[in-house]
Structure 1
Amino acid sequence: MSTLTRSELPVAPRKRSALQMFRQSGWRHAVAALIVIYAVFPLLYAFSAAFGEGGTLLGSNRLFSTLSLNNFRELLSDPQNPFVTWFLNSMFISSVTAVGTVLMGAAAAYAFSRFRFRGRKTGLMSLLIIQMFPQLLAFVAIFLLLASLSEVYPFLGLNTQLGLIMVYLGGALGANTFLMYGVFNTVPKELDEAARIDGATHAQIYWTIILRLITPILVVVGLLAFIASFSDFLLARIVLQDPDRWTVAVGLYQFVSVEFGEKWGVFTAGAVLSAIPVVLLFLFLQRYIVSGLTGGAVKG
């Protein structure tokens, strides 16, 4: 019967002190907790004002001191401020913008990734440089352009939802094309060659093979386009002039534009309801978000 020597005996793991545990991994939890508190604290004021009766964000030292649904009732029953109409307008504009952005950006990125043509590198560099200029510089030009289009194509000019959608599509095309271009490069070109040998056309390769492989980035681009257009105020306020065609961001501004702090409770109630679609989209599509954002980070 063999016996274990002293050096061969199993050594019990040493217990780490609280300071050692904090140095190794505890500080990460502390930083994460601070970030969560920093992000959630303003939301508490918004929820408190939405469910409160004071109707203001100032002097809210006692959060949730009163709970009431009066702000929501006033928001949904005011005939001069049709929140439901604004909400449906935002959903329509944002949904069409998201779908159009995905289709246009994916088609442009596929062309830059798979085809070789004159001006390809110049076009990619131009798309990147144009995105460096702030959109604020283009507001006057957009207004004058849509005003001119109204005389020729009334359905595409000022005070039209289609005109606003076209503005959103043009503004998002460059950045999203460059983002999806890196993801398209990660898909091996051997798949295209094998499909062509089997008799597949470029359209069949694009729709049935490539797009299915890059679904995460398509979801991310669509989600970002939806959020950007849903929460936009400046462009929507410039283009849309008829109150029945306003979006949620433009419509809710009317509750606080007359006098500071007049109807902040109704405003925050509308903001809470408006955040529901975005939150649901994040929860439903969260499994695509991380893989979509990092998909083109390895090979560009």
Structure 2
Amino acid sequence: MKPKLLISYAVLALIGVVSIYPALWTVLSSFRVGNSLFSDTFIPQQWTLDHYKDLFRTRGTRDIQYAKWFWNTLQVAAVSTVIGTILQLLTAYAFSRFRFKGRKPMMMVVLILGMFPGFLSIIAIFSILQKLQLLDSKWGLVLVYSAGSALGMFVAKGFFDTIPRSLEEAARIDGANNMSIFFRIILPLSRPIITYISLMTFTGAWVDFIFARAILTSRDEWTLAVGLWSIIDSYNSTEFTLFAAGCVLVAIPITILYMYTQRFLVDGLTAGASKG
């Protein structure tokens, strides 16, 4: 084996270990007896499911509403995914297919704004939601996630640019308008990019902490990210194993979603390649 190839494999193996080790440590910690962050052994000497049970029951002064937080997060992520995906697809299609005054400056503005971290706008967003009386509301959070989705439209625009315009021209000859072309021709051919956008939007809303922490103040309205943070913050970092159990349950829906949608992504790419 060539030295360069051997070094490449070694680097990839190191990256794999660095990436997998923290996740594996968290999973194993969720089954470990006690609540300590540290352990003498990597694999637990004693296994327990008590931490998972504690997430769904109140014990002592605890007020862990894990099921409620899970439902709140699912609502926010699902609605944000639907609205955000539609907005991003419409925006990308408009910039890809139409030529209008101010198109290039607008694209430049969107590109520049997309380079800045979203949390830089948190004060402005807080003020706007306060005026709209949407603070401490899941729908205010949905509005934030959905409204910002169009900033990531360049991937979808690049995909739409690859679709032949002759398909649209043929549809216009048959009397189809722009919306008919978009929904009946463009979207059926855009399964890969729809899958990608949906996954990214859902994942972003599912794991976001910064905006959720700033907008949601009532414990009943919290999402999982804020709720899990409160477990460690409220109990002075003495409940790491409980926190680890919550993190494992958070990762399960995302893992299932990626495994399920991967098939549609591959099928869409294969269909597009065969047509080309």
The TM-score, its normalising length taken from structure 1, stands at 0.83
Determine the C-alpha separation between the residues in 1 that align with 2:268 and 2:219: 37
- Would you say the 8 A contact 1:91–1:230 is kept in 2? yes
Q: 1:262 aligns with which of 238, 246, 250?
A: 238
User: What is residue 55 of structure 1 aligned with on the other side?
Assistant: 35
User: How many correspondences in the alignment?
Assistant: 266
- Would you say the 8 A contact 2:85–2:149 is kept in 1? no
Determine the C-alpha separation between the residues in 1 that align with 2:65 and 2:126: 26
Change in 2 beyond 3 A, CA 1:58/1:24: closer
User: What is residue 214 of structure 1 aligned with on the other side?
Assistant: 190
Structure 2 SS opposite 1:187: coil
Structure 2 SS opposite 1:77: coil
User: What is residue 280 of structure 1 aligned with on the other side?
Assistant: 256
User: What is residue 108 of structure 1 aligned with on the other side?
Assistant: 91
Determine the C-alpha separation between the residues in 2 that align with 1:66 and 1:87: 28
Structure 2 SS opposite 1:84: helix
Q: Displacement, 1:29? A: 3.7
Q: Displacement, 1:241? A: 1.4
1:135 matched to 2:118? The reply is: yes
Determine the C-alpha separation between the residues in 2 that align with 1:116 and 1:92: 37
User: What is residue 163 of structure 2 aligned with on the other side?
Assistant: 187
- Would you say the 8 A contact 1:55–1:262 is kept in 2? yes
The gaps in structure 1 that reach 5 residues or longer are 1-20, 151-156, 294-300
User: What is residue 158 of structure 1 aligned with on the other side?
Assistant: 135
1:117 matched to 2:100? The reply is: yes
The gaps in structure 2 that reach 5 residues or longer are 270-276
Matches within 5 A, 1:182-261: 182-261=158-237
For 1:285, give the aligned amino acid.
T
- Would you say the 8 A contact 1:89–1:246 is kept in 2? yes
Q: 1:44 aligns with which of 8, 16, 24?
A: 24
Change in 2 beyond 3 A, CA 1:196/1:272: same
1:31 matched to 2:38? The reply is: no
For 1:83, give the aligned amino acid.
Y
- Would you say the 8 A contact 2:119–2:210 is kept in 1? no
Determine the C-alpha separation between the residues in 1 that align with 2:144 and 2:173: 41
For 2:139, give the aligned amino acid.
L
For 1:91, give the aligned amino acid.
L
Structure 1 SS opposite 2:115: coil
Q: Deviations over 1:73-116 (max 9, x none)?
A: 11111272111111111111111111111100111111111111
- Would you say the 8 A contact 1:220–1:288 is kept in 2? no
Structure 1 SS opposite 2:132: helix
User: What is residue 10 of structure 1 aligned with on the other side?
Assistant: none
User: What is residue 86 of structure 1 aligned with on the other side?
Assistant: 69
Determine the C-alpha separation between the residues in 2 that align with 1:226 and 1:107: 18
Q: Deviations over 1:94-140 (max 9, x none)?
A: 11111111100111111111111111111111100111222222111
Determine the C-alpha separation between the residues in 2 that align with 1:165 and 1:290: 29
Determine the C-alpha separation between the residues in 2 that align with 1:275 and 1:168: 20
- Would you say the 8 A contact 2:32–2:241 is kept in 1? yes
